[in-house]
Amino acid sequence: MLKKKAYNTKLIKIPEHDIDQLNLNVEFIFKSTYVRSVDNKTIEFKSITTIEDYDSCNESARYARSEQLVCLGILCFFTHIPFTVYDSEQGSSNVNFDDFSMDPKNIEPKFISEVKDFSGDLKKLLHCLETNTELSVTIIDRIRKGLYLERESDDANLHHDEAFLIYFGIVEMLTDHFTKDYKMQLETSVKNMLNKFYSENSFYNVSTLKEKTTQKYKLLHDVMISEELNLKNRMLFMCKKLNLNHIFLESFVGDIIKQRNKVAHGRTIYNDKFIWPLPPFFSSLGDSTTKLYTVYCFMINIAHRFFELDSSKESYEMFENMLLPTNEFIKQLLSEPKKYSFSKEELISGNEYNFTFATIFYLWVHSIKNISIDEIATVIGNEFLISEIDEENGQCLFNISILFADSSNVQIREKASENIKKIVKKTWYDWSNIKDALRYLDYYEVKFKWFKEWIQGGGHIKCNDDFSIA
């Protein structure tokens, strides 16, 4: 059957609110598709295709779709913006070729944004897409699909459950890629253990020793290998192979697996309270925005390491900032406060344990309600007292002040109430409405006496009229 060449062009419009932030300068080739920035608002895709002799040139769009979807995935992977065919400004198909030559040797891959030059990483990603096409394409396309669902959920968290499963599914898929190596490691370890045991403690000849080892290995296989090949262990093995380590990683992996099971396996989801934005459906994730962002940071760091990208360092820092101290760490910190020392700067800006004013408040609301406020104050109370409020740190000091306003320590309690009044007067908080903080606490069934009484008494209104507050 005779075939003929045609080419398909498509102009992808960069979302209006991302133009200034991106300032993209892009040029690369994937297989038979050439991608380049036309200007800071538009990116052109030009695909050379082969169509049947009886096809019209419009069919070139069908033949070009696969490669163009991959190129959209590449754009999304580096910008975290879900470019789709819906962003197409215009397109055309033609069988008449201009003098354009699509020779990769003549085009140096380039991906420069306002933030960073990703050109080196682009080359590595293109190589992975060529050599391990199915897995690599699946990763970047699922990322794009998840981000698209997030974008469509901006007003009401509509698709957060589905996006969570997509991001977790990418991690699970990459975990499967390493499972064979993990199984071989377990098998080798068990065989070596048996060999060592019988060699050191028995008097079998070589033939009998081998037979005995094989026999016992079959008995131990299900007990010691199958049992260890659970998802959590396999995921942690993948992290180890990718050199991803952190003191709280094991706990984090266990938590996201529980969340995934809750979403995927039909757990009950009823809740009689809601906070803004009001969702159109019940959610299995609870605090879905935070949990979704956390699993996304984990997934994107795994993907960067899998592709061996230079930007994996930045993606790790993004992920590291999402890892919260475990309850075990908090208990150890309270029992041995002298072992750890945090300055006021570290409690505001961050430290290796991510033990900060902001994370303490979040943990208090979500997981460490059985620890008293005064116990927390014995560890960080002094740093709280000497922390000065400004516009940049207002939100984190506001939240921790809500907690400390109920402390039995008079100095801490008075400092906390002063902080709250000053921050409210200066509007140095991120809550869209100051009463939303109370609604947030009520949603998670956390009782803060002073703050609630202060709101109920109109304190947030009065402090705006009190010009004596500095």
Q: Would you place residue 97 in the very low, low, confident or very high pLDDT band (cuts 50, 70, 90)?
A: low
Which residues are CB-neighbours of 238 under 8 A, at least 6 positions away?
Answer: 174, 175, 177, 178, 182, 302
- Per-residue pLDDT of 452-469, as tens digits, reads 989 988 887 877 665 444
Residues 144 and 72: beta-carbon distance below 8 Å: yes
Q: CA-to-CA distance for 401 and 407, rounded, in angstroms? A: 10
Q: How far is residue 228's CA from residue 389's CA, in Å, rounded to a whole number?
A: 50
What does the alpha-carbon distance between residue 227 and residue 233 come to, in Å, rounded to a whole number?
A: 10
What are φ and ψ of residue 219, in 5° steps?
A: -70, -35
pLDDT score of 17: 64
Distance CA 202, CA 176 (A): 39
Segment 387-402 shows an average pLDDT of: 90
Query: What does the alpha-carbon distance between residue 329 and residue 247 come to, in Å, rounded to a whole number?
Result: 10
Residue 99 pLDDT > 70: no
Query: In this structure, what DSSP letter does residue 337 have?
Result: G
Q: What average pLDDT does this structure show over 288-293? A: 81
Backbone angles phi, psi at 25, to 5 degrees: -130, 100
pLDDT of the residue at 467? 44
Lowest mean pLDDT among 168-177, 215-224, 288-297: 215-224
Please check the confidence at residue 337 and state whether its pLDDT lies above 90. no
Report whether pLDDT(283) > 70. yes
Mean pLDDT along residues 366-395: 87
Residue with the larger pLDDT of the pair 227 and 37? 37
Give the pLDDT confidence score for residue 240 in this predicted structure. 95
Residue 65 pLDDT exceeds 50: yes
Helix, strand, coil percentages in the chain from 3-state DSSP, rounded to 5: 60, 10, 30
The pLDDT of 157-180, averaged and rounded, is 92
The answer to whether the Cα torsion of 400, 405, 409, 414 is positive or negative is positive
Average pLDDT, integer, range 137-160 = 88
Alpha helices in 307-372 (DSSP H): 312-320, 327-335, 344-349, 357-366
pLDDT number for residue 103: 66
Amino acid at residue number 29:
I
Q: Which of 29-38, 105-114, 134-143 is the least confident region?
A: 105-114
Average the pLDDT over 387-396 and give the result: 88
Q: Residue 260: CB partners within 8 Å, gap ≥ 6?
A: 164, 165, 168
Which of the two residues, 188 and 57, has the higher pLDDT score? 188
Work out the average pLDDT over 257-266: 85
pLDDT over 80 (residue 428):
yes
Question: What does the pLDDT average to over 61-85?
Answer: 89
What does the pLDDT read at residue 213? 80
pLDDT value for 379: 87
Q: What are phi and psi of 208, to 5 degrees?
A: -70, -40
Give the rounded percent of residues in the chain with a pLDDT score beyond 90. Answer: 36
Q: Strand 25-30 to strand 33-39: parallel, antiparallel, or no bridges (unpaired)?
A: antiparallel
d(CA 432, CA 443): 16
Q: Which of 2-16, 156-170, 242-256 has the lowest mean pLDDT?
A: 2-16
Q: According to the model, what pLDDT value does residue 468 have? A: 46
pLDDT for 100 equals: 55
